[in-house]
Amino acid sequence: MDDKRFILDSTMLQPFDIIMEKGDNPRLSAAYNHRNGTPYTHAKLYIGMGSYIDASGTGVKSQQVERTLYSSIDDAIVLRYNEELNKKKKAIINSFVRS
């Protein structure tokens, strides 16, 4: 059994990066892949200083990137907006994610 675990390198992340994750359930990930063309079922917003915001059925929480372990290096990808976000766009994104 392979006991390797992977974490994202927070030094490579920038605020407002989106962390896309595969779900814990391979069947759900496969269904998402079939329907949406992607196996990633969950998104988190990196807010800086090693933290991300995560919303789930239990509410919105903030956690440290280094506390999230992945079984495979392919279990998560990072998306980055390709243009500069101004204060207004950042405020809109921040408000939406926290709601």
Chain segment 6-60, per-residue pLDDT in tens: 788 888 999 999 999 887 777 877 887 788 888 888 889 999 999 999 887 788 8
Q: Is the pTM of this model over 0.85?
A: no
pLDDT at 1: 46
50 DSSP assignment: T
Residue spans of beta strands (DSSP E) within 1-99: 18-22, 40-48, 51-56, 59-64, 76-79
Question: How many whole angstroms separate alpha carbon 7 and alpha carbon 18?
Answer: 15
